[in-house]
Amino acid sequence: MIANRDRSQLHLDHYLISTLYSSWVEGEHEREGVFELFFRKNPFKGEYTIFLGLANVMDYLENFKIDQETIKQFKSIKQFSEFQEKFWDYLMNLSTSSLKVYAMKEGTICFPHEPLMQVIGPLSLANLVGTAFLCLTSYPSLVATNATRFRLAADAINLPECKLFEFGLRRAQGPGAALIASISAYIGGFDATSNLDAHEKFGIPTCGTTDHTSILVGVANRQQLSKTSTSDHKFLLNKKTDQEENFTLKCLEIEEDFVKRIVTRKRTIEEDHKLRRRSELRSFIKVAITNKSSFAALVDTYDVIVSGLVNYCIVALALHHFGYCPLGIRIDSGDSAYLSRCAKSLFKEVAEEYEFNELVSSQIIVSNEISIKVILSLLGQKHAITGFGIGTNLVTCGKQPTLGTVYKMVEIQGIPCQKSTTGTLGSGKSMITCRKSVYRLYSDDNQALVDLMIGNGEQAPKAGHPVLCKHPFDPNQQCVIKPNRVEPLLHLWWDGKLIKKMQSIEEIRTNCLNSLTHLREDIKRFMNPTPYKVSVSDELLKKLNTLKSNTQN
């Protein structure tokens, strides 16, 4: 995924330039460093994360250039004003051709402390790109992870065919974030987005209903709907007769019949029938004319039961008469479970009365501050909801606004290095140093058992052979696994240039959703999920213990 990044942006922190200058003065800038990008805790109190953003990183590397104008801006900063001129010449000649970048495939499930990306190259440059890599991967990974959790929530309430629509464009922190969120949500299992930019740039399916404005505007039309006054009637091609016919008139004929056959039977509607808004009916007719093959009505502008549902059914019946099939309704307020049951009940009654079976299949989409908690609350309720429109609680990631990824040097000139920090797995600022490779070990039934990190140069684990896996922080925890399948997780993508074909969005989406199927249900559950095992080899653990001992001494 590449989400409309401004290629002129270098994403550099102030300290990166001052640090680089110091190492350049000391002649240390060309030393080989190994950096790794990782996080220490899964988001949303869950036990897994989805990795995204690699294509953005590759795009950044391909277009990395510090030009004369940028140097001019740097020189205007007081703290940089006395830097040697030769340093600025060095910066202008920096090239990413000296870097190697290993990374997981986008859409891969990942876990704390294991490297999502590994960067090898001259210390100066490998350190310089760190902020950009963090910026370009953290937010898409966070939203994709959030999206999968919404999908799992829908599955948890026995709605495997439930449609999830991303409605976050007007809620995201800016248009750039909105586009990233639309892409990430689709990869994480959402079915469509309201964001037309996402469709234009990436082909992501779009969706939408009417809005309250298009319905309220009907109030301004003072002319009453009438069979005899046809000046404002709308005409539509009848696919059954292949003739242009008066669609408004057909709606009014159905309205009259509908009141007699349906409304008078339903006491709750009949008593308040006078509250039904015919201006809403007029608006629905207008929308149906221009969206005859995709008519979806927002039914809560006025009273959902008395007005919105009745007017929808009238227009839906007229469309059926003309050879078209409506899509459904959206409810944006009120008790969504109760109102969805009312809608389904009315659709069934109308379908039977008018021999219009397709009406029963009308989608019932609910929106308005939908959260995972709201979805899970439906498990104990009767409802007829077929989909959710989700915005704020998806794209803002309010429960955890950042993934907390970090970018740390783990080796310099082949020598492991780390901060002198104590901590346990998943807490503090603990890290697993040394250059590493990561492998996922699978069971006979193709379930992911453990991720194993081994040191550079170690022999990779093999399928069918026993593998000793040790806890990186607790010496009392270890296990022996005989994997049925072994999957390497880090792949070389950049070796001075892009050397591997990037995945398409559909490939990333498939990888993401398939990865979830290989994770045990107890790891994915919402209440007290089981932590996934991230282990190290015996040889790597010995290196870590030696390094820790030397650091303390």
Indicate whether 243 belongs to any domain. yes
Query: Is residue 425 scored above 50 in pLDDT?
Result: no
| Cα(226)–Cα(224) distance, integer angstroms | 6
Q: How far apart are CA 481 and CA 173, in angstroms?
A: 45
Predicted pLDDT at 121: 97
Q: What is the CATH classification number for the domain harbouring 293?
A: 3.20.20
* Whole-number percent of the chain with pLDDT over 70: 93
Residue at a domain's end among 370, 391, 424: 370
DSSP 501-545: PPPPHHHHHHHHHHHHHTS-HHHH-SSSPPPPEEEE-HHHHHHHH
Q: How far is CA 111 from the centre of its chain?
A: 17
Contacts of 181 (CB under 8 A, 6+ apart): 143, 166, 168, 172, 394, 395
List the structure tokens of 210.
Answer: 């009417």
Identify how many contiguous H helices and E strands the chain contains and give both numbers.
19, 22
Q: Which residues pair with 122 in a beta bridge?
A: 32
Per the CB < 8 A criterion, the answer to whether 111 and 448 are in contact is: no
User: Could you tell me if 334 and 353 are in contact, meaning their C-beta atoms sit under 8 angstroms apart?
Assistant: no
Q: Is residue 200 part of a domain?
A: no
Phi first, then psi: give them for residue 445, nearest 5 degrees.
Answer: -95, 20
Cβ–Cβ < 8 Å for 306, 272? yes
Helix axes 14-25, 85-92, angle to 10 degrees: 110
What residue type is 284 in one-letter code?
A: F
Q: Is residue 65 part of a domain?
A: yes
Q: What is the pLDDT of residues 434-455, one digit of tens each?
A: 999 999 999 999 999 999 999 9
pLDDT at 5 over 90: no
Looking at residues 132-139, what average pLDDT do you find?
96
Same domain, 358 and 420: no
Q: Are residues 435 and 351 in the same domain?
A: no
Q: Is 237 exposed, middle or buried (0-12, 13-18, 19+ CB in 10 A)?
A: middle
Q: 243-246 and 235-238: which strand pairing? A: antiparallel
pLDDT of residue 424: 46
Looking at the structure of the chain, the number of domains it has is: 2
310, 411: one domain? no
Whether residue 352 is found in the same domain as residue 408 = no
Beta bridge partners of 34: 120, 411
Domain co-membership, 460 together with 351:
no
| Single-letter amino acid, residue 487 | E
* pLDDT at position 19 over 70: yes
Statement to judge: residues 515 and 406 lie in one domain? yes
Helix, strand, coil % over all residues of the chain, rounded to 5: 40, 20, 40
For residues 225 and 281, is the Cβ–Cβ distance under 8 A?
A: yes
Q: What is the CATH number of the domain that holds 75?
A: 3.20.140.10
Say how far apart CA 398 and CA 402 lie, in whole Å.
9
**Structure pTM?**
0.93
Structure tokens of 160? 């495997």
The verdict on 366 and 456 lying in the same domain is: no
Residue 73 structural domain: 14-148+399-552
Query: Is residue 123 in some structural domain?
Result: yes
Residue 193 falls inside a structural domain: no
Q: Is the pLDDT of residue 7 over 60?
A: no
Is 437 part of a structural domain of the chain? yes
Assess whether 501 and 445 both reside in one domain. Answer: yes
277 pLDDT band, cuts 50/70/90, is confident
Residues 361 and 225 in one domain: yes
- Per residue in 153-186, pLDDT (tens digit) is 999 888 778 999 999 999 998 989 999 999 999 9
Would you say residue 204 lies in a domain?
Answer: no
Average pLDDT over residues 196-221: 87
Residue 283 is predicted with a pLDDT of: 92
In 209-303, where does DSSP find H-type helix? Answer: 212-216, 247-261, 267-271, 278-290
Cα–Cα distance, 230 to 242 (Å, whole number): 21
Question: Residue 110's closest CA among 16, 36, 35?
Answer: 36
Higher pLDDT, 352 or 427: 352
Tell me whether residue 234 is in a domain.
Answer: yes
Number of Cβ within a 10 Å radius of residue 299: 28
Final residue before a domain boundary, out of 370, 388, 418: 370
**In the predicted structure, residue 292 carries a pLDDT above the cut 80:** yes
For residues 525 and 511, give the distance between their C-alpha atoms in angstroms, rounded to a whole number.
Answer: 20
| 3-state secondary structure (DSSP) of residue 384 | coil
Instruction: Tell me how far apart the alpha carbons of residues 377 and 288 are, in angstroms, rounded to a whole number.
Output: 34
Interatomic CA distance for residues 422 and 61, integer angstroms: 34
Beta bridge partners of 110: 49
Query: 185 near 409, Cβ under 8 Å?
Result: no
Provide CB contacts within 8 A for 517, sequence distance 6+. Answer: none
Same domain, 298 and 241: yes
pLDDT for residue 126 is more than 90? yes
Beta-carbon contacts of 343 under 8 Å, excluding residues fewer than 6 positions away, are 299, 304, 309, 329, 331, 362, 364, 384
* 269 pLDDT tier (thresholds 50, 70, 90): low
**CA max distance for the chain:** 97
The values of phi and psi at residue 174, to 5°, are 105, 160
Same domain, 352 and 434: no
Handedness of CA 24, 25, 27, 31 (dihedral sign): negative
Mean of the pLDDT values across residues 94-119?
97
Dihedral over Cα of 363, 368, 372, 373: its sign: negative
Instruction: Give the mean pLDDT of 474-501.
Output: 96
Please report the sign of the dihedral spanned by the C-alpha atoms of residue 21, residue 22, residue 26, residue 30.
negative
- Nearest to residue 92, comparing CAs of 107, 74, 79? 74
Residue type, 371: S
465 with 364, same domain: the answer is no
Domain boundary among 328, 350, 370: 370
